[in-house]
Amino acid sequence: MIHREAATFKRTYSEDLALYPYPLPKYTMMAVVGIVFAVIPMVASDYLLSLLNLIGIASLGAIGLNILVGYTGQISIGHAAFMSVGAYTAANLVTRLDLPWYLAMPAGGAMAALVGAFFGIPSLRIKGLYLAISTLAAQLIIEWTLNHVTWISGGVGASIYVPRPVIFGFTMKS
């Protein structure tokens, strides 16, 4: 009797988790993304670039939250607070210490990881709704600190001017 498989069967767990089952779509997608990142800044208006920046920042937060909820099943309500810690750290390092942006960005990520560990280690044994409440508490504590400790952010109505980074002679517009 002649038959065909009705579905694609995975033999290993890594095959099941693979986003692209074959290497060609992965390389094609990487090429398309590279071309888009190279062409869009040259042809887009300032408004579109600022909008794409906001979309990119929100996408990074959503990807991080997807990894947290999807792989661990834990809920985080205070996810944006840790992103703000990294952003304020990088901005302050660039403006106050004149650190280059390519060193300030990883330092901002490291500071966000440290603050995340500060709030995360005590809540290792918490599950379910209580974990969500503890992340909400972290969000509120970090937000209050950024608004009221003026040497970090300048206060509620202040803004931090960060000089535009230069990459290979091109100044980033937004």
Mean per-residue pLDDT of the chain:
86
Q: Which residue has the higher pLDDT, 48 or 73?
A: 48
Q: Is the pLDDT of residue 105 over 90?
A: yes
Share of the chain above pLDDT 70, in %: 91
Confidence of residue 169 (pLDDT cuts 50, 70, 90): confident
Q: Is the pLDDT of residue 1 over 60?
A: no
8 Å CB contact between 61 and 87:
no
Q: Which residue has the higher pLDDT, 170 or 109?
A: 109
Break the chain into its structural domains and give their ranges: 13-171
169: left (phi over 0), alpha (psi -120 to 50) or beta: left
Q: How many alpha carbons fall within 13 Å on the CB side of residue 45? A: 3
